[in-house]
Structure 1
Amino acid sequence: MSAARLLMTALLVSILLAGCGFHLRGTQSLPEDANYVVIRSVEPHAPLARSLDKRLEVYDIEGGSNYPTEAQQSFVVIELLPEQLERRLLSVFSTGQVAEYELIFGVRYKVTFPGQQPIPAYFEILRDYQDDPDQVLAKSRELDLVLDEMRREAADRIIRRLPSQATQTVPVQ
């Protein structure tokens, strides 16, 4: 393939992507007028709150469970409501014991941006989980690992949703 043809192909792909509204996600997850995230939880020491606090570091966002000490800082408040975990039966062994579950991890929270009304949000994360009654201890540990992974994914999703939630805010009156 010649260099000119390769250049024309790249140019055409770029025009098509720009024309359909595609754009790369930025690294900035907070609106410009906020520079700190406060994590509040209805349950003290909630695992999701700890996971969210750790994930803020990965996204290079300042935050934590304490309000900032400097009064001039504007902050976003994420209030986590109790997490929900449900199990839906998917299959059973010939003996009638449960072989496989679908785990449904429900996350409810409210986000409050500076000078705005709180925005309630909810989403679910689904995972299949195979149960083995002969290996109860190993399966218990595996369930803990799956729940930790689901909480990490939930924290990532909360952080990635912040920019779109910032655009749908309603001023406090």
Structure 2
Amino acid sequence: MEHHKGGQSSALPEQLEMEILERNSRLAQTMELVLRSKNVELTAEAPLILVLESERLDKRPLAVSDTGVTAQYQLTLIVRYHYKTRDGEEALASRRITSWRSYDFNAQLIVAKTQEEQSLVNEMREELAYRILDSLPR
């Protein structure tokens, strides 16, 4: 699934450093995979640094069945990030981006629904990784 506009990727740098402010950031793992697929080298010598500030996943009921059981959930993934130069200058001020998905829930299909939820979260992380790259300072 292509996420860039106009059919071709905007010019990505050959190198990028990633600074992760949250331990065990799942978005950082996704970002590494996306960068590798785009042939961007992750290195501490890169002139530009992507700072992943925070990642928050919220899950809330969207619809309730007649019996009072949650029938649909909404997942919201919120990420804060910014870019800075090697000498510490701000290249792009801190931004907050959001992705959301909703899905039907059925307690009888709990394993399948848990897998569906995880798949949606992974899809949201990938979407946000591409959006972060699309906002690279030029």
Question: TM-score when scaled to structure 1?
Answer: 0.67
Q: Deviations over 1:97-136 (max 9, x none)?
A: 1111121110111211344325211110011121111121
Report the structure number with the largest CA radius of gyration: 1
Match status 1:102 vs 2:46: no
Name the CA distance, whole Å, in 1 between partners of 2:11 and 2:84.
17
* Higher relative strand content: 2
Q: AA paired with 2:33? A: K
Of 117, 142, 146, 2:90 maps to 117
Specify every segment of 5 or more residues in structure 1 that has no aligned partner in the other structure, as ranges: 1-22, 69-73, 168-173
Gap change, CA 1:48 and 1:24, over 3 Å in 2: closer
Specify every segment of 5 or more residues in structure 2 that has no aligned partner in the other structure, as ranges: 1-5
Count of residue correspondences: 131
Match status 1:29 vs 2:12: yes
Sequence identity (%): 24
Structure 1 contact 106–125 (Cα < 8 Å) conserved: yes
Question: TM-score when scaled to structure 2?
Answer: 0.82
- Where does structure 1 differ by over 4 angstroms across 4 or more consecutive aligned residues? 23-26
Of 63, 67, 73, 2:44 maps to 67
